[in-house]
Amino acid sequence: MSANGSTMRQLLWQDPVCSGWKQDLEGAVYHLANCFLLLGFMGGSGVYGCFYLFGFLGTGYVCCVMWGWFDACGLDIILWSFLLAMACLFQLAHLVYRLRKNTLPEEFDLLYKTLCLPLQVPLQVYKEIVHCCEEQVFTLATEQTYAVEGETPINRLSLLLSGRVRVSQDGQFLHYIFPYQFMDSPEWESLQPSEEGVFQVTLTAETACSYISWPRKSLHLLLSKERYISRLFSALLGYDISEKLYALNDKLFAKFGLRFDIRLPSLYHVLGPAAPDTGPESEKDDEEVRESAMPTSAQQTPPRSPLPAASGPPAPPSRARMSRPDSGVLGEDSASLVLEDFEEVSGSESFMDYRSDGEYMR
């Protein structure tokens, strides 16, 4: 202890051991190395901050190696500077490896920014979802079918990434599927995990399409293990199904211009089979009856003599009948208004019709 104490007193209070100070300054490489070290220690945090830190530190230690080799001529300076420079290079290589490992393919990265990032889904959770589909992207050529009505089994859940898919049933066009919409969400929700079924519609690619697909068993296993992912898929599938229902609702309209709402009560009973067509002869007979009734009633009604002026106050004017609200804005009793409008339509006309593909797109 006394020896250590005497050494400390010599270092602090006695004159330095150096016999003489150098009059010349160190070379430019030495000062350049210290400048790089200073910049390196000013680095920030995070991945890019680590790149900045180890990049400048590694460059500074390489300059120290050059200074020890050319100016200082000291083996210890060269060895320590070399080891520190190699440590910084290994750290940079590790950061590059982690970035490449965590980087998603372009299609999945765009899917995350479009669909999951607005919902603040953590990236790690999204990677589990992507891992379930094995990061595979499938393609469909133009007019290639994804599913055939009554034949294709429901054994997966797919999400469209690009292109446009046409949905039809019995040759009748229903609606389109656009990018970042599920292709078979109604079929997925219609079955329990233990049940099996087939598609009730046909899905055909109108353009070149790409999509990702989750196997049914693998996805059910993931949803049963991760509650957060299960709630996320429940919200996404519910929104997707509602969009498809509204797309069908836009196609349903009457010839007299009233746009229906699929949520109205008793609409199913109103949209039943139309009355049998009685032909043009019955329509002609009805018109003749109405025309003959009008002059007959006018001839049989004798002209009335003007009434004497009454002594009492004049009668109040008759109130005009209130006009029916616009069909585009239905009030509280919207179902009754729809039923009244149906009564006014001739029975020979069809109550509903479906637009063609071109009209639906317009």
Tokens encoding 233: 């898929």
- Coil, helix or strand at residue 93: helix
Rounded Cα gap, residues 39 and 19, in angstroms: 34
Which residue has 């329990």 as its token pair? 192
> For residue 108, is pLDDT > 50?
yes
Q: Of the segments 78-82, 191-195, 306-310, which one has the largest average pLDDT value?
A: 78-82
Residues in contact with 28: Cβ distance below 8 Å, sequence separation at least 6, in sequence order = none
pTM over 0.75: no
Task: Name the H helices within the chain.
Answer: 2-13, 28-40, 46-67, 75-102, 106-111, 123-132, 185-190, 216-225, 227-251, 267-270, 279-300, 334-344, 357-361
Rounded Cα gap, residues 164 and 181, in angstroms: 10
Residues in contact with 145: Cβ distance below 8 Å, sequence separation at least 6, in sequence order = 202, 203, 204, 205
Q: Domain spanning 106-256: which superfamily?
A: Jelly Rolls (2.60.120.10)
Q: What is the mean pLDDT of the chain?
A: 75
CA 293 from chain centre, in angstroms, equals: 63
CA 354 from chain centre, in angstroms, equals: 28
pLDDT digits (tens, 9 = 90+) for 232-274: 999 999 999 998 888 777 666 544 455 555 555 444 444 444 4
Q: Are 333 and 234 in contact (CB under 8 A)?
A: no
Return the domain boundaries, the chain: 25-101, 106-256
Average pLDDT on 163-181 reads 91
Rounded Cα gap, residues 56 and 36, in angstroms: 5
Share of the chain above pLDDT 70, in %: 64
